[in-house]
Structure 1
Amino acid sequence: MTSSPEESTDSLILHSTDNAVSWITLNRPQAMNAVTWDQREKLIALLAAASADPEVRAVVITATGKGFCAGADLRGTPTDGRERIPGDVARTIRLGAQRLIGAVLDCEKPVIAAVNGTAAGIGAHLAFACDLVLAAEEAKFIEVFVRRGLVPDGGGAYLLARLVGPQRAKELMFFGDSLPAAEAERIGLVNHVLPAQELAKTAREWALRLAAGPTRAIALTKQLVNASLDADRAAAFAAEAAAQEINMTTRDANEGVASFVERRTPQYRGL
Structure 2
Amino acid sequence: MSGNTPLIVTRQGAIVTLQFNRPEALNALDLPMAQALLAAVQAIAADTGVRAVVLKGAGRAFIAGGDLATLHANPAQGARDLLAPLNATLQLLQQIDAPVIAQVHGAAAGGGLSLMLMCDFVLAADGTKFNLAYINLGTSCDVGGSWALPRLVGLRHALEIALLGDAFTADDALRLGLVNRVVPAPELDRTTQAFAERLANGPTKAYGQMRRLLRTSFDRDLGAQLAAEAQSFDTCAHTADMREGLQAFFDKRKPRFQGR
Q: Aligned residue for 1:31?
A: 25
| Corresponding residue pairs, total | 258
Q: CA deviation at 1:262?
A: 1.5
Q: 1: CA distance between counterparts of 2:70 and 2:231?
A: 44
RMSD: 2.1
Q: 1: CA distance between counterparts of 2:178 and 2:46?
A: 28
The alignment partner of 1:208 has SS state of helix
The answer to whether structure 1 residue 16 and structure 2 residue 5 are counterparts is: no
1:141-160 equivalences in 2 (<5 Å): 141-160=130-149
Q: Aligned residue for 1:69?
A: 63
Q: 2: CA distance between counterparts of 1:147 and 1:65?
A: 25
Q: CA deviation at 1:76?
A: 5.2
- Structure 2 residue identity aligned to 1:103: L
Q: Aligned residue for 1:130?
A: 119
Q: CA deviation at 1:14?
A: 0.9
Q: 2: CA distance between counterparts of 1:37 and 1:139?
A: 25
Q: Aligned residue for 2:229?
A: 240
Q: 2: CA distance between counterparts of 1:187 and 1:37?
A: 31
Structure 1: 5+ residue stretches without partners: 1-5
Q: Aligned residue for 1:188?
A: 177
Q: Aligned residue for 1:206?
A: 195
TM-score, normalising length: structure 1: 0.89
Q: CA deviation at 1:243?
A: 0.3
Q: 2: CA distance between counterparts of 1:121 and 1:102?
A: 19
Q: Aligned residue for 1:49?
A: 43
Q: Aligned residue for 1:3?
A: none
Q: 1:93 to 1:227 in 2, by over 3 A?
A: farther
How big is each residue's C-alpha offset from its partner over 1:106-149, in whole Å with a ceiling of 9 and x where there is no partner?
A: 33210000001201111001111000000000112111110011
Q: Aligned residue for 1:170?
A: 159
- Structure 1 residue identity aligned to 2:214: V
- Structure 2 residue identity aligned to 1:254: R
The answer to whether structure 1 residue 226 and structure 2 residue 215 are counterparts is: yes
Q: CA deviation at 1:38?
A: 1.4
Q: 2: CA distance between counterparts of 1:103 and 1:69?
A: 20
- Structure 2 residue identity aligned to 1:249: H
Identity of aligned residues (%): 37
- Structure 2 residue identity aligned to 1:168: H
- Structure 1 residue identity aligned to 2:148: L
How big is each residue's C-alpha offset from its partner over 1:138-183, in whole Å with a ceiling of 9 and x where there is no partner?
A: 1121111100110112221111011101110000011100011110
- Structure 1 residue identity aligned to 2:6: L
